[in-house]
A and B are shown apart, each in its own frame.
Chain A
């Protein structure tokens, strides 16, 4: 069972941009919007050196980390070759124009985070 909660409208996120979502604990979640108005959510931490992915440049369905330019796939959370490593994805449901995240998922400890 999912515990969906409305977070914002799609239009609250800039096209080819992102917003940060505060979690009850731990690192923020970054929600991204691409040119087709698809919304993705990733833990806001690059698998390389922890850069805030929310601050990167978004293109296609990827984001370039602002610290060292690793490219992370928004749909997979994984770095593009030759880099390796993944960041945790979060479930997103868009209903009409409303973006929902799963409260339970947000509240649980993310992969790679210390509780």
Chain B
């Protein structure tokens, strides 16, 4: 019997426009629903999809056209996409759902559709002056324009660029690099007035003049004058002056290309009006993305927002329907080699804002930061843009900058604040320098992948190069490389990052939903938040599991299969697949009988290595998994949780009991803290230290909570970190009694447990919410502090020790027994 099933008739998707936003939508769609549609693409240009942003480097002779192709002809064939390149769509019959196109010979092509994607992009604005149609007068938009400019540079001498904006300056720079004598005509008083303030605009002009560009500021074009052969010869201005011009490039702005959409009677207002799902408001079968679309009144002209739109449109076309596009923040960078310029957000400032300005005209550096309500809302940098991506991140995250305000201007490296959020200096690194230490990825490798594979987001770089995919300490650096490579506008991403590829939701949204709707299991979260994957992944499941048990202690059930092996088997996995065991030693103190039991276990189970850790404990390395349960039993000491996102050590010095300098009994304080908070799961590992005097022998200054004894009581410091990047803990408060130390420490821990995102250390949590916020919650609100401390105690009350109370701690003992093959 013939078992073949006739293939289901596929729906037909037609895309009009073959540019970056449209093709990106198809790529996203093919990733999630490769078989849903028969796809047809109409492109007016006779080229496959290329990276329009990189036309400037092509014009400047730094790259070739071939190098900027994003999807080759083969890509279309390989994905079964019918590409009509060089055919212009002239009409769409919405009633019969037919697209009609004409080629150069006026031959008609008609294609039916079930879904239509309008990605017609934008058109350059042409000044309506006499002579605008002369030969030698062009816009700067596509490969044909670029080739016309390259060609003109070989034959002619004088070029005039009308428009001193981003595109005009890039065109002028390119033509100058190709040997032409270039003047820029700009009607406004300063260059790039939409991206730069007056000061930065003037500095830019000076620097470009030094390179040989001429500027005609405030000049208004009246007429383009022809030579005898019909080519443009000169340009005449309103004030009667004129300039020689064998080539005139108009770069005075773009307009959404809505001609066809209007003919189809789709509602247009500054672009084709679309909803948050990128469907046109007029016809739900018709989608629109890219520069032609108007979303909430804005038509974006930068690539990153367009790619965010592409993702959402693809999600909807694939019939998931859970993605929403809610708008983007954008930033700008000029692609003229050697000129560093960056702006983002509300860089002009105005009512209700404050400005921080650093101006050093001699060194060619100017920085302006605009602040509103303790948040960074705009930045304009000239000459030194190393911190551009950092400022942009602060802007997007909207985190309070009150605590770093005095150092903000001097950048991320001066703030002791980088840590897992990144370093800087991406621009000054050599290609052979290593960026990602975990996976051994160099700057050169990353930049090459970004250019060759057309990568635009951090996730894509992670996927293709592995950079920043492990410990994450180089994330900031990779983001900077993205921004600086090929000078793109690559860095805009959604305000809130999704947890992982399984969902659109960020960490905060997931936790909020768990708390607000009393979700008690991972399945409920997946269901409620419409997860895209059936069982999530190794990244989201542990996070959700933590949010559940921290939000609903004693109610939500722990899911061991959603924990990393260390927490599932309550020991640390090592490189050879054996484990290490660290028993808990309260406050770093031990006894002869404990040491004897440890020694006996080492002999009995032939444990190869015994090591004292950095946190004053004994580590037994090389234990076989099948021996773990017996080793725990024989040692008879509580679990050190050295494997868990939980309280690890409380490091202490000997304190006043033994030390001749000690002012307080730090060992006892350490033991009390550890006994009060052991078994405490947290977003990440947590370490405490208690020192008996300001000599601080327990190194309390780099711990999540560091307590330092002084003559009059205790000092409490929070948010230190000795890990990926050393972070010094910040002074929090001074306390009188040991009881207060317990209460304040517990309250801070509970706040972090409730609000920290999974895998976010206390220092990064503090950076996100601001020190003032934590002070408000704990120092200024006694009731809230006591409530937090009480909640923590409730959570920890009766929590089992996983090494001894296996069933209560949900330890699946089957994992320690291997299955044997029967003879």
Asked if B96 is at the interface of the complex by the 8 Å CB criterion, the answer is no
Expressed in whole angstroms, the minimum distance between the Cβ of B503 and any Cβ of chain A is: 13
- 28 A-B residue pairings within 8 Å (CB atoms): A6-B822, A7-B822, A12-B814, A12-B819, A17-B812, A17-B815, A19-B814, A19-B815, A20-B819, A21-B819, A21-B820, A22-B819, A35-B535, A50-B577, A52-B577, A55-B568, A55-B573, A57-B537, A57-B538, A57-B542, A57-B563, A59-B538, A59-B541, A66-B564, A66-B565, A71-B538, A82-B465, A101-B821
- State A15–B523 Cα separation when bound (angstroms): 13
Interface range for A? 35 or more
Determine the chain B residues whose CB is within 8 A of the CB of A31 once the complex forms. Answer: 819
Q: How many A-B residue pairs have CB under 8 A?
A: 97
**Interface readout for A75-115 with B: 1 if CB under 8 Å, 0 if not?**
00000011100000000000000000101001000000000
| Contact across chains for B536 and A103 when beta carbons are under 8 A apart | no
CB–CB B561/A14 < 8 A: yes
A55 to chain B, nearest CB (A): 4
The smallest beta-carbon distance between A90 and chain B, in angstroms, is 11
**CB-nearest residue of chain B to A80:** B463
A34 to B536, CA, bound (A): 12
Shortest distance between the CB of B582 and any CB in chain A (Å) = 18
Q: Are B561 and A24 neighbours in the complex by a CB distance under 8 Å?
A: no
Contact present for B565 and A81 (CB under 8 Å): no
Q: Mark B554-592, 1 if CB is under 8 A from A, else 0.
A: 000000111111001100010111000000000000000
Binding site for B on A (CB under 8 A): 5-8, 12, 14-17, 19-24, 28, 31, 34-35, 49-52, 55-60, 64, 66-69, 71, 81-83, 101, 103, 106
Contacts of A49 in B (CB 8 A): 575
Asked if B818 CB lies within 8 Å of chain A CBs, one says yes
Give the complex CA separation of A71 and B568 in angstroms: 19
Identify the closest chain B residue to A19 (Cβ).
B819
Asked if B463 contacts A69 (CB within 8 A), the reply is no
Distance in angstroms between the alpha carbons of A19 and B820 in the assembled complex: 11
Cβ-defined contact, A14 with B814, below 8 A:
yes
Determine if A60 and B535 form an interchain contact, defined as CB atoms under 8 angstroms apart.
Answer: yes
B821, A22: Cβ atoms under 8 Å? yes
Q: List A contacts of B561 (CB < 8 A).
A: 14-17, 57-58
Digitize B267-289: 1 where CB-to-A-CB distance is under 8 Å, 0 elsewhere: 00000000000000000000000
Contacts of A28 in B (CB 8 A): 818
Q: Which of B564, B565, B819 contacts A8 (CB 8 A)?
A: B819
Interface contact A60-B821, CB-CB below 8 Å: no
Contact call A81/B463, Cβ cutoff below 8 A: yes
Partner of B820, one of A15, A22, A67: A22
- B785-823 to A contact mask, C-beta < 8 Å, 1/0: 000000000000000000000000000101100111110
Q: Is the CB of B535 within 8 A of A14?
A: no
Q: Which residues of A contact B577 (CB under 8 A)?
A: 50-52, 55
Query: Are A21 and B821 within 8 A (Cβ)?
Result: yes
Task: Report chain B residues within 8 Å CB of A7.
Answer: 819, 821-822
Contact with A along B521-549 (1 / 0, CB 8 A): 00000000000011111100110000000
Contacts of A50 in B (CB 8 A): 576-577
Which residue of B is nearest A64, CB measured?
B538
A69 near B533: Cβ-Cβ < 8 Å: no
A78 to chain B, nearest CB (A): 16
